[in-house]
Amino acid sequence: MSCNTCTFNHTKDSHNNCSTNCGARSFGSVKLSVFDWLANTQLPGGQEFFDCVEVRFKNSRKEYFRNTEKLPLQMGDVVATEASSGHDIGVVSLTGELVRSQMKKRRISWENEGLPRVYRKANQHDIDVWQQSRDKEIEVQKQSRELAIALGLEMKISDVEFQGDGSKATFYYTAEGRVDFRQLIKDMARAFSVRIEMRQIGFRQEAARLGGIGSCGRELCCATWLTDFRSVSTSAARYQQLSLNPQKLAGQCGKLKCCLNFELDTYLDALQDFPKTDTKIHTERGTASCQKVDIFKRLMWFTYDENPMTWYKLSVDSVKEIIALNKNNERIEELEEYAIVSDLPSHRSSANSDMELLPIEEDSITRFDTPKRKKNKRNNKKDNKGGQKNAKSAQSNNNNSSKQLKSQSNQGAKKNNNNAEVTNEKQVQKPQAKPKNTHYTNGNNKKNPNYKNKQKVNNNDNTPKDENS
Q: Which domains does the chain have, with CATH numbers?
A: 136-209 (3.30.300), 230-272 (no CATH), 280-357 (no CATH)
Is 60 exceeded by the pLDDT of residue 29?
no
Identify the pLDDT of residue 339: 86
Is 80 exceeded by the pLDDT of residue 393?
no
Identify the pLDDT of residue 386: 53
Mean pLDDT of the chain: 75
pLDDT band of residue 97 (cuts 50, 70, 90) is confident
Q: 191: Cβ–Cβ under 8 A, 6 or more apart, which residues?
A: 143, 147
- Count of all residues that appear for the chain in the document: 469
Is 90 exceeded by the pLDDT of residue 423?
no
Instruction: Give me the helix-helix angle, 377-415 and 450-462, nearest 10°.
Output: 80
Taking residues 40-62, what's their average pLDDT? Answer: 82
* Share above pLDDT 70 across residues of the chain, in percent, rounded to a whole number: 65
Beta bridge partners of 201: none
Is 90 exceeded by the pLDDT of residue 136?
yes
Say if strands 280-282 and 287-294 run parallel, antiparallel, or are unpaired: antiparallel
Collapsed DSSP state (helix, strand, coil) of residue 293: strand
Is 80 exceeded by the pLDDT of residue 361?
no
The distance of Cα 147 from the centroid of its chain, to the nearest Å, equals 39
Is 80 exceeded by the pLDDT of residue 251?
yes
Whether the Cβ atoms of residue 159 and residue 59 lie closer than 8 Å to each other: yes
Is 50 exceeded by the pLDDT of residue 225?
yes
Is the full-model pTM beyond 0.85? no
Q: 151: Cβ–Cβ under 8 A, 6 or more apart, which residues?
A: 183, 184, 187
In degrees and rounded to multiples of 5, residue 136 shows phi and psi of -85, -10
pLDDT band of residue 124 (cuts 50, 70, 90) is very high
Instruction: Give me the helix-helix angle, 137-151 and 124-135, nearest 10°.
Output: 40
Q: How many CB atoms lie within 10 A of CB 122?
A: 22
Taking residues 282-301, what's their average pLDDT? Answer: 90
Q: Where are the alpha helices (DSSP H) in 254-330?
A: 264-270, 316-327
Distance between CA atoms of residues 413 and 407, nearest Å: 10
Is 70 exceeded by the pLDDT of residue 398?
no
* Share above pLDDT 90 across residues of the chain, in percent, rounded to a whole number: 35
